Amino acid sequence: MKTTGWMVALAGWIGVGALACGDDSGTGASGTGGDAQGGEAQGGDAQGGQAQGGEAQGGEAQGGGGASSVEALAFVRGALFTADLGEGQTYHDALAAGGEEPAKAAGDFAHDTFLGTTLLGTTENEFLAVDRWTSDANMDAFYSDPDFQAAFGQLFAAPPTFETFERSQFYGWGDLDAADATEPHYVIVVRGRLADTPEAIQPTHDAIAMGGEAGALAAGDVTHVVYLGRQDPREALIFDVWTTSQGLEAFYSDPTFQQAVGGLFESPPAVSVYASNEWHQW
């Protein structure tokens, strides 16, 4: 069980206060960016800026440049430092509860966590956190804070994937809270690079989404939202929230569906399924 090290890091983070919440100087990209103490990093996401992250303790991230008023999102996933989910939850919940107020003050209005299922080849119990921000004005400075990175990084066995996105204008329905009254519920994550610019891809995507909405809702898919990379808008992150896992694999494995959706991306996107949990969230 982690004790003194993470408690000191957490106390240092909260004690530093404010986390430079008023500063979006681009240091955030390097803060959450790179090889961190936290987990395995991948690319960057979210539309909007250009400051790209370096190596830090949170995972490889891409930050943004100038602040945007559009909803922003931080996407983190990786292997927990322990196979004991109780131990992992204890560490996460202390970190999240201690940081909730400064996070909210900076603009982080929602922190949701999930664990990997075995559906569609997902890594079982892989940790996923999704934080939604009112804008990216304070996002980079928040995640680049060294004390936050030191505390957060210890949640993972290796540097996690850390990416940031902005919500797009692509057609969708619902939001990430749509199934909160149903436990467990499931979030399907589709991550890939668009085959062309968002402007070129959106009409095709929207036609597919509109045509499939009724059937998806009937099957239990209560949310479909698309986020685009802040640094590179062709980097896409799509969430679908399901109230049930029944029929989910058949839905996403359907050849007609795969062909239609696959045409949106330059190569087959990664599709993963995560289940809700009762870890500390807001």
The dihedral region occupied by 197, where left means phi > 0, alpha psi between -120 and 50, and beta the remainder, is beta
The predicted pLDDT at position 55 comes to 35
Residue 37 has pLDDT above 60, yes or no: no
- Equal CATH topology for 4-166 and 186-276: yes
- Per domain, the residue ranges of the chain are 4-166, 186-276
Q: What is the 3-state secondary structure (H, E, C) of 75-110?
A: EEEECECCCCHHHHHHHHHHHHHHHHHHHHHHCEEE
**pLDDT tens-digit map of 105-154:** 999 999 999 999 999 999 999 999 999 999 999 999 999 999 999 999 99
Q: Which CATH architecture has domain 186-276?
A: 2-Layer Sandwich (3.30)
Give this prediction's pTM.
0.80
| Residue 74 tokens, joined | 């931080």
- Between CA 276 and CA 54 the distance in angstroms is 31
Residues 6 or more apart in contact with residue 21 via CB below 8 angstroms = 102, 105, 106, 107, 138, 141, 142
* CATH number of this structure's domain 4-166, picked from the four choices 3.30.565.10, 3.30.70.100, 3.30.365.10, 3.40.190.10: 3.30.70.100
Residues 6 or more apart in contact with residue 77 via CB below 8 angstroms = 39, 126, 127, 128, 129, 160, 161
Residue 8 has pLDDT above 90, yes or no: no
